[in-house]
Protein backbone atom coordinates (compact mmCIF):
# COMPACT_ATOMS: atom_id res chain seq x y z
CA UNK A 1 0.00 0.00 0.00
CA UNK A 2 1.14 3.54 -0.61
CA UNK A 3 0.49 6.99 0.78
CA UNK A 4 -0.72 9.99 -1.21
CA UNK A 5 1.05 13.33 -1.34
CA UNK A 6 -0.66 16.47 -2.63
CA UNK A 7 1.12 19.70 -3.49
CA UNK A 8 -0.51 23.11 -3.26
CA UNK A 9 0.06 26.33 -5.16
CA UNK A 10 3.29 27.01 -7.01
CA UNK A 11 4.84 23.72 -5.92
CA UNK A 12 3.10 22.07 -8.85
CA UNK A 13 5.23 24.14 -11.20
CA UNK A 14 8.41 22.72 -9.67
CA UNK A 15 7.35 19.16 -10.50
CA UNK A 16 5.99 19.70 -14.01
CA UNK A 17 2.39 20.55 -13.14
CA UNK A 18 1.48 17.44 -11.17
CA UNK A 19 -0.28 17.96 -7.87
CA UNK A 20 -0.62 14.39 -6.59
CA UNK A 21 1.90 11.59 -6.08
CA UNK A 22 1.71 8.10 -4.65
CA UNK A 23 4.68 7.62 -2.32
CA UNK A 24 6.10 4.59 -0.56
CA UNK A 25 5.94 4.52 3.24
CA UNK A 26 9.06 4.37 5.39
CA UNK A 27 10.72 7.59 4.16
CA UNK A 28 10.47 11.06 5.67
CA UNK A 29 8.50 13.84 4.04
CA UNK A 30 11.81 15.70 3.70
CA UNK A 31 13.32 12.82 1.69
CA UNK A 32 10.31 12.71 -0.62
CA UNK A 33 10.47 16.47 -1.19
CA UNK A 34 14.17 16.32 -2.08
CA UNK A 35 13.48 13.41 -4.42
CA UNK A 36 10.87 15.53 -6.20
CA UNK A 37 13.30 18.44 -6.55
CA UNK A 38 11.58 20.61 -3.94
CA UNK A 39 13.78 22.50 -1.48
CA UNK A 40 12.42 21.62 1.99
CA UNK A 41 13.05 25.16 3.29
CA UNK A 42 10.39 26.44 0.88
CA UNK A 43 7.73 24.41 2.69
CA UNK A 44 5.62 26.22 5.26
CA UNK A 45 3.33 23.42 6.36
CA UNK A 46 3.08 19.63 6.27
CA UNK A 47 -0.33 18.16 7.08
CA UNK A 48 -0.71 14.39 7.49
CA UNK A 49 -4.18 12.95 7.99
CA UNK A 50 -5.45 16.44 8.92
CA UNK A 51 -2.75 16.97 11.59
CA UNK A 52 0.28 19.24 11.32
CA UNK A 53 3.56 17.32 11.22
CA UNK A 54 7.24 18.14 10.75
CA UNK A 55 9.14 17.54 7.52
CA UNK A 56 10.90 14.70 9.36
CA UNK A 57 7.65 12.76 9.77
CA UNK A 58 8.08 9.17 8.58
CA UNK A 59 5.35 8.32 6.10
CA UNK A 60 3.05 5.42 6.99
CA UNK A 61 0.85 3.27 4.74
CA UNK A 62 -2.38 5.03 3.83
CA UNK A 63 -1.27 8.50 4.94
CA UNK A 64 -2.80 11.49 3.18
CA UNK A 65 -0.11 14.18 3.05
CA UNK A 66 -0.64 17.79 2.01
CA UNK A 67 2.26 20.16 1.41
CA UNK A 68 1.94 23.96 1.43
CA UNK A 69 4.70 26.31 0.25
CA UNK A 70 5.90 29.50 1.84
CA UNK A 71 3.99 32.43 0.36
CA UNK A 72 5.92 35.56 -0.52
CA UNK A 73 4.95 38.89 -1.91
CA UNK A 74 4.96 42.50 -1.22
Q: What is the pLDDT of residue 14?
A: 86
Q: For residue range 33-42, list pLDDT tens digits in order.
A: 999 999 999 9
CB of 44 within 8 A of CB of 52?
no
What's the mean per-residue pLDDT of the chain? 93
Read off the pTM.
Answer: 0.89
Domain ranges of the chain: 3-69
Q: Please compute the mean of the pLDDT values over residues 31-59 and round it to a whole number.
A: 96
Tell me which CATH code domain 3-69 carries. Answer: 3.10.20.30
Give the start-end residues of each E strand in 1-74.
Answer: 3-7, 20-23, 43-48, 51-53, 64-69
**CA 41 distance to own-chain centroid:** 12
CB of 7 within 8 A of CB of 18?
yes
Amino acid sequence: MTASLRLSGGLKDVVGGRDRFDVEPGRSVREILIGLGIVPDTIALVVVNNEQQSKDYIIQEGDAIRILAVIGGG
